[in-house]
Structure 1
Amino acid sequence: MDIIQAIALALLQGLTEFLPISSSAHLILLPVISGWQDQGLVFDVAVHVGTLSAVVAYYRRDLAQILSAWFGSLFGKGLNDDAKLAWYVGLGTIPVGLVGIALPDSVTEALRAPLVIAAATIVFALLLWWAEKRAKEQRSQISLLDAVLVGLFQAIALIPGTSRSGITITAGLITGLRREQAARFSFLLSIPVIALAGMLHVIELYQSQEPVQWDLIALGAAVSGVVAYLTIGWFLRLLAKIGVMPFVYYRLVLGVVLFAVFLR
């Protein structure tokens, strides 16, 4: 992997991680379409760590309040809304963690196939479309039921092409959350998921003792982090104005193009 490939992939990851269009699908497909050698999971994890730093930086004040309230709840200070949100983020992380551990490597690799990505891109675009059209947007407060349902939906995002942000926002809309609150909860849920995945792959990397291009990995993490930070604010403003339909249309077109390319 050279510097041009690293920057292109990092830009792509930073732009797509928090948009409902599946960053993992784009990271898998760009090397396939361009003829590049697959960048591997190590680089994928590096650029995801970059986006993790972006969401932590963007919600740093919220996170400080949430963590303070959570620690307070552990020492008998009661459960306010911020403390409940912290527990709900933890609860919503459990399903994807369990499914991720249970999936054999052979299944994980099979799910990275272009036709699987194409199918998931279309199917979950239609589900997001349905959720957007029926969304009541009645509530701003996250409930226990929201956390359970969104967490279960998040586990589906292990299928590339699904989009972790897309499927969790879909679940939030289904439960009646406002778009902005569904997106905020989705972004907060990304923090433990990306952090845990990153730690697991760092352990695997250390045990494998394979040579690593640390300079390109650091560059990828930095570029993806900056782009992701800018994308979060832009997406939230766009979501408040026009909703998710532009991303639904993009996914449908992308899915059709992928089928046309890979079914030849």
Structure 2
Amino acid sequence: MSTFETIFLALIQGLTEFLPISSSAHLILPSQIFGWDDQGIAFDVAVHVGSLFAVLGYFRKEVWVMLKAWLGSFAGNRSPEAVLAWLIILATIPAVLFGGLFKSMIEEYLRSAYVIATTTIVFGGLLWWADSQAKLVHDEYKIGWKQALFVGVAQAIAIIPGTSRSGITITAGLMLGLTREAAARFSFLMSIPVIVGACVLMGKDMADNPVDIDWSAMSLGILVSFISAYSCIHLFIKWVNKVGMKPFVIYRMLLGITLFAFLALS
């Protein structure tokens, strides 16, 4: 990979991991559209590590409080933070099960521009509907186990390229009556165990199929994805209640249409 490709892909990963526009789509598409070589699993691990550092850094206070509360729950602590920590764990289970059962099949048959174009439009439309119908009355501490499981099932569907993990979990949160900011916060906190799990699985694949690693590209990828992801989280949380989901819906629609047009002409 050239330095330009490294920076470009790491920037794309950092920006799209937490925006409702699908990071997997944007990482798959450059190789298909520009004819670039696939960036490889080592680089995927690097940029996901950068994104993980970003969300942990941004929510460091909340994560620390929840971690202490969760550990205290074994001694009877039933604080809202302890409950929220358990709900995030519960919401992660469907993604683990779905990923374990269908990961190979999806990677073999669904990592295509046609699938990405379709899911980009379909789930973009669902996001628009959820945002337009949202009651916007609850924060993330009002979620119960049924609601957490509902968001978790939505997150599991995001293994399909182009769906967007953050997009579909925010959509589910809005459908449950969460405010836009609360839906985004819950989605971002849910991303922590999922990204950790993804890094572990990709690390296992690397161990099973060892390759030469360009450590300078890995380091640059981590740094760029961290900076872009951290900035993205901060700005999204700050502006989401003001701008809503419409700009992201419009982007998804234009992206999907452009992809179909490109595929038709190629």
Q: Same fold (TM over 0.5)?
A: yes
RMSD: 1.1
For the Cα contact (< 8 Å) 2:103–2:159, is it kept in 1? Answer: no
Partner Cα separation in structure 2 for residue 164 and residue 173 of structure 1: 14
Instruction: Find the counterpart in structure 2 of residue 162 from structure 1.
Output: 163
Partner Cα separation in structure 2 for residue 149 and residue 83 of structure 1: 19
- Between 181-190 and 138-147, the greater mean CA deviation after superposition: 138-147
Matches within 5 A, 1:145-160: 145-160=146-161
- Provide the secondary structure at the position in 2 that maps to 1:103: helix
Instruction: Find the counterpart in structure 1 of residue 92 from structure 2.
Output: 93
Instruction: Find the counterpart in structure 2 of residue 222 from structure 1.
Output: 223
1:4 is aligned with what amino acid? F
Alignment deviations for residues 224-257 of structure 1 (CA, whole Å, 9 cap, x no partner): 0111101101111220112111000000000000
Partner Cα separation in structure 1 for residue 120 and residue 103 of structure 2: 23
2:97 is aligned with what amino acid? L
Question: Displacement, 1:104?
Answer: 5.0
2:71 is aligned with what amino acid? F
Where in structure 1 are there 5+ consecutive unaligned residues? Answer: none
- Provide the secondary structure at the position in 1 that maps to 2:236: helix
Instruction: Find the counterpart in structure 2 of residue 65 from structure 1.
Output: 65
- Provide the secondary structure at the position in 2 that maps to 1:8: helix
Tell me if 1:103 matches 2:102. Answer: yes
- C-alpha change, 1:143 and 1:106, in structure 2 (3 Å) is closer
Question: Displacement, 1:106?
Answer: 3.9
**How many equivalent residue pairs?**
263
Q: Give TM-score, length-normalised by structure 2.
A: 0.96
- Provide the secondary structure at the position in 1 that maps to 2:178: coil
Question: Displacement, 1:102?
Answer: 0.7
Question: Displacement, 1:146?
Answer: 1.9
Matches within 5 A, 1:1-12: 1-12=1-12
Instruction: Find the counterpart in structure 1 of residue 17 from structure 2.
Output: 17
Partner Cα separation in structure 1 for residue 24 and residue 65 of structure 2: 31
Matches within 5 A, 1:1-264: 1-76=1-76, 78-103=77-102, 105-140=104-139, 141-264=142-265
Question: Displacement, 1:41?
Answer: 2.7
Partner Cα separation in structure 2 for residue 83 and residue 261 of structure 1: 49
For the Cα contact (< 8 Å) 2:166–2:188, is it kept in 1? Answer: yes
1:173 is aligned with what amino acid? L
1:252 is aligned with what amino acid? M
For the Cα contact (< 8 Å) 2:41–2:206, is it kept in 1? Answer: no
Q: Give TM-score, length-normalised by structure 1.
A: 0.97
Partner Cα separation in structure 1 for residue 38 and residue 206 of structure 2: 17
Partner Cα separation in structure 2 for residue 164 and residue 50 of structure 1: 17
Question: Displacement, 1:121?
Answer: 0.1
Partner Cα separation in structure 2 for residue 259 and residue 247 of structure 1: 18
